[in-house]
């Protein structure tokens, strides 16, 4: 039977979805919620749902073009970043794909669906799960696709920009496409210091994947996109699936979201403060916290304490990371939310430790 391996599953247990006190820390969604302008755009677009959506997302791509100062022809929109990812793999059909371990599971899933074999570049806890220059040795003439997540999921680690550029040049020399997932980059302060957006025009083998999902808190709307200067790839993306993959509602939401600049600044400020608070509090209950740049924290317990099971009884979900390639039992990912929610989470975690101390330390 097919196994769902992501966070955000509030549907398996109906009591969770119906519970107003439920807190989903398993999905890394902007805690500020849907921006007001995006909410209005969604409401106003309902009447237009009697029409088919624009198969080329012309208005949305024009907005993205102005936002990124790039030609609209370099932008492809899809039904979430995952939809775009699967189209990229279908279009390129690499025979061997190199991915990080641990990292987002759908890179492997999309590559395998397109007939690819998978090679892993393993990230090590002793290096704080950072990507090291050793990755260059892992990219060989046999490699036909490299996928990097920056910042990585679930570690939140950013790649050094100089190393990224070296990887890009190495891939280019071997004629290997490089896909960089920057879906969580909008949560990063000084993001321009780490993004490869400024390299797109001169590097046709570079593809950058982005999404509205997490940063604008609209995972239920489904909207993602990629940027690349390879015109041939763009044509293939349109040919690799149905024409109407971005709904009328999603296109309207995306166009409105691009105007929410104050919302983005408020988000980054909130995440910085609340992530520091969460990390400090989690360390007080003897959990190992790995520092990252995104809107979530990877944590580890040295004991076999079943945090997901215990917290679910209090209507709180966290992400068990034991099914990530390269991780094992005891690793969890926790999203960053508002101070009110974070205080509730920490209070319940401390109460669990206090009342279950023997099981917690053994």
pLDDT in tens, 41-96: 999 999 999 999 999 999 999 999 999 999 999 999 999 999 999 999 999 999 99
Query: What pLDDT score does 88 carry?
Result: 98
Structure tokens at 91: 């279009």
Tell me the average pLDDT across 3-14. 85
Which of residues 202 and 277 earns the better pLDDT score? 277
Same domain, 24 and 139: no
Range of the domain at 155: 36-257
Same domain, 244 and 354: no
> Over 80: is that where the pLDDT of 359 sits?
no
Same domain, 199 and 129: yes
Provide, rounded to the nearest whole percent, the portion of the chain with pLDDT above 70: 98
**Domain assignment of residue 157, yes or no:** yes
Which of residues 308 and 20 earns the better pLDDT score? 308
Tell me the average pLDDT across 186-210. 96
Same domain, 169 and 186: yes
Query: What pLDDT score does 164 carry?
Result: 98
Confidence of residue 153 (pLDDT cuts 50, 70, 90): very high
Contact 95, 117 (CB under 8 A): yes
Please work out, in degrees rounded to the nearest 5, the angle formed at the alpha carbon of residue 33 by the alpha carbons of 27 and 37.
140
pLDDT in tens, 214-224: 999 999 999 99
Same domain, 223 and 274: no
Residues contacting 169, CB < 8 A, separation 6+: none
**Residue 190: HSE in the Cβ half-sphere, 13 Å Cα cutoff:** 6
Query: What pLDDT score does 326 carry?
Result: 94
Structure tokens at 185: 């980059």
Tell me the average pLDDT across 107-133. 97
Query: What pLDDT score does 2 carry?
Result: 83
Same domain, 251 and 265: no
**Domain assignment of residue 135, yes or no:** yes
Tell me the average pLDDT across 263-287. 97
Same domain, 246 and 334: no
Of the candidates 209, 151, 225, the residue with the CA atom closest to the CA atom of residue 185 = 151
Same domain, 252 and 267: no
Contact 74, 234 (CB under 8 A): yes
Structure tokens at 227: 């940027």
**Domain assignment of residue 103, yes or no:** yes
> Over 80: is that where the pLDDT of 357 sits?
no
Q: CATH no. for residue 189? A: 3.40.640.10
Same domain, 238 and 273: no
Same domain, 80 and 210: yes
Same domain, 62 and 196: yes
Of the candidates 10, 46, 25, the residue with the CA atom closest to the CA atom of residue 221 = 46
Query: What pLDDT score does 362 carry?
Result: 65
Confidence of residue 302 (pLDDT cuts 50, 70, 90): confident
Query: What pLDDT score does 5 carry?
Result: 82
Q: Provide the Cα torsion 183, 349, 304, 108; round to 10°.
A: -10
Provide, rounded to the nearest whole percent, the portion of the chain with pLDDT above 90: 90
Burial class of residue 171, CB neighbours in 10 A (0-12, 13-18, 19+): buried
pLDDT in tens, 238-260: 999 999 999 999 999 999 999 99
> Over 90: is that where the pLDDT of 358 sits?
no
């Amino acid at each position: 039977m097919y196994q769902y391996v992501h966070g955000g599953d509030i549907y398996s247990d109906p009591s969770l979805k119906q519970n107003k006190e439920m807190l989903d820390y398993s999905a890394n969604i902007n805690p500020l919620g849907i921006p007001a302008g995006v909410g209005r755009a969604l409401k106003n677009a309902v009447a237009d749902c009697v029409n088919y959506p624009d198969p080329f997302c012309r208005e949305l791509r024009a907005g993205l073009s102005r936002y990124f100062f790039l030609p609209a022809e370099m932008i492809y929109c899809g039904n979430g970043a995952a939809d775009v990812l699967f189209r990229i793999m279908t279009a390129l059909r690499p025979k061997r794909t190199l991915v990080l371990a641990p990292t987002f599971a759908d890179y492997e899933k999309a590559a395998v669906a397109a007939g690819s074999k998978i090679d892993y570049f393993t990230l090590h806890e002793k290096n704080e799960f950072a990507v090291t220059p050793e990755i260059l040795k892992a990219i060989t003439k046999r490699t036909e696709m490299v996928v990097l997540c920056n910042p990585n999921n679930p570690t939140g680690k950013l790649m050094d920009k100089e190393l990224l550029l070296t990887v890009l040049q190495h891939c280019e020399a071997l004629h290997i496409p490089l896909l960089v997932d920057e879906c969580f980059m909008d949560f990063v302060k000084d993001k321009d210091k780490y993004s490869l957006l400024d390299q797109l025009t001169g590097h046709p083998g570079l593809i950058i994947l982005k999404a509205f999902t997490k940063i604008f808190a609209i995972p239920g709307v489904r909207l993602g996109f990629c940027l690349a200067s390879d015109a041939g790839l763009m044509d293939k993306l349109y040919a690799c699936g149905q024409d109407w993959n971005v709904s009328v509602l999603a296109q309207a939401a995306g166009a409105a979201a691009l105007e929410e600049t104050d919302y983005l600044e408020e988000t980054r400020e909130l995440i910085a403060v609340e992530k520091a608070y969460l990390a400090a509090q989690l360390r007080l209950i003897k959990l190992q916290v790995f520092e990252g740049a995104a809107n979530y924290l990877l944590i580890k317990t040295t004991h076999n304490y079943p945090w997901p099971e215990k917290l679910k009884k209090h209507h709180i979900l966290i992400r068990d990371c034991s099914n990530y390639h390269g991780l094992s039992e005891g690793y969890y990912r926790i999203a960053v939310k508002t101070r009110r929610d974070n205080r509730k989470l920490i209070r319940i975690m401390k109460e669990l430790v206090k009342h279950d101390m023997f099981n917690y330390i053994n």
